[in-house]
Amino acid sequence: MEKYNNGNGPGTLYVIGTGPGARDHIIPAAIEAIERADTIIGYSTYLDLIEELLEGKEVISSSMMKEVDRCRLSLEMAESGKSVALVSGGDAGIYAMAGLVLEMASQNDFQAEIKIIPGIAAVNACAARLGAPLMHDFAAISLSDLLTPWETIVARLEATASTDFVVALYNPKSKRRTAQIAQAREIFLKHRDPANVVGIVTGATRENEVITLTTLDKMLECEIGMQSTVIIGNSKTFVWRDKMITPRGYGEKYQL
């Protein structure tokens, strides 16, 4: 740690998400924090997005570094007095780096100030691209069983499928993880109609964006990958033109 120490006591660590991909989806508070920081740490994919903000700064582009190592380096540099921005995609507070940073800071009793800045998460961005699927109670569930027992994930899928939540599936599929999305669909089919609307957004707001509207019945025939978020509508969700819409309930009370 000594190599970073500037003798001024602990610094600040900003934990920032740059949103789904499009530059015009990053909040000004995130840009400001990046501008304030001496050192920027993050995946190269996210740093490419804000290239012109990095000029004159120490940039640690960690395409190969593991999450734990990246958080540790960020924390140690901040602890030594630097102003550091740790950059990820989406909202740093939703399945991203904010929690790990704070968990590690707590275990090592770090004194550096840690500021979490919210961002447009995949769930916000994908919903907007699809129309308005999240207008009623919704849940986000990650299908990655790397850190969570599969039985826990299954229980949550069952619970939300049976009580008519709109459900956003994070990490639905990867090269090695292909069975989980099929099992999730089976669970939903126990409780929902095969025609239940499903929206899939891959690469939201990016050049390679693909938006697919489908049903529980047909969803496995659609392209789902590492960059996809799958949103399963509730029993009242419908499609009009190319929009996925979950009614809030106004139609039952008012003349629309």
Query: Within 193-252, which residues bind a second copy (CB under 8 A)?
Result: 238, 240-241, 243, 245-252
The residues with which 230 forms a beta bridge, in sequence order, are: 169, 200
Q: How far is the CB of 238 from a second copy (least distance, A)?
A: 8
Distance CA 17, CA 97 (A): 9
Contact segment (CB under 8 A) with a second copy among 40-48, 52-60, 136-144, 222-230 equals: 136-144
Distance of CA 242 to the CA centre of its chain: 24
Whole-angstrom distance, CA of residue 160 vs CA of residue 156: 6
* CA pair distance 150, 228, nearest whole angstrom: 20
The residue among 2 and 252 lying less far from a second copy, judged by its C-beta, is 252
Q: Among residues 32, 35, 48, 223, which is the contact residue for a second copy, using CB under 8 A?
A: 32
Q: Does 7 bind a second copy (CB under 8 A)?
A: no
Task: Select from 76-84, 154-162, 173-181, 221-229 the region that touches a second copy (CB under 8 A).
Answer: 154-162
Q: Does 58 bind a second copy (CB under 8 A)?
A: no
Counting contacts by CB under 8 A, is residue 106 touching a second copy? Answer: yes
Q: Where are the beta strands (DSSP E) in the chain?
A: 12-17, 39-42, 58-61, 83-88, 113-117, 131-132, 138-142, 166-170, 197-202, 210-215, 228-232, 238-240, 243-245
Residue 35 engages a second copy in binding (rule: CB under 8 A) = no
**Binding of residue 105 to a second copy (CB under 8 A):** yes
By CB under 8 A, the residues from 74 to 103 that bind a second copy are 91-96, 98-103
**Nearest approach, Cβ of residue 95 and a second copy (Å):** 7
3-state secondary structure string across 189-204: HHHCCCCCEEEEEECC
The correct pick among 2, 7, 24, 64 for binding a second copy (CB under 8 A) is 24
CA 145 – CA 149 distance, rounded (Å) = 6
User: How many C-beta atoms surround the C-beta of residue 234 within 10 A?
Assistant: 23
List 10, 60, 136, 183, residue binding a second copy (CB under 8 A) = 136
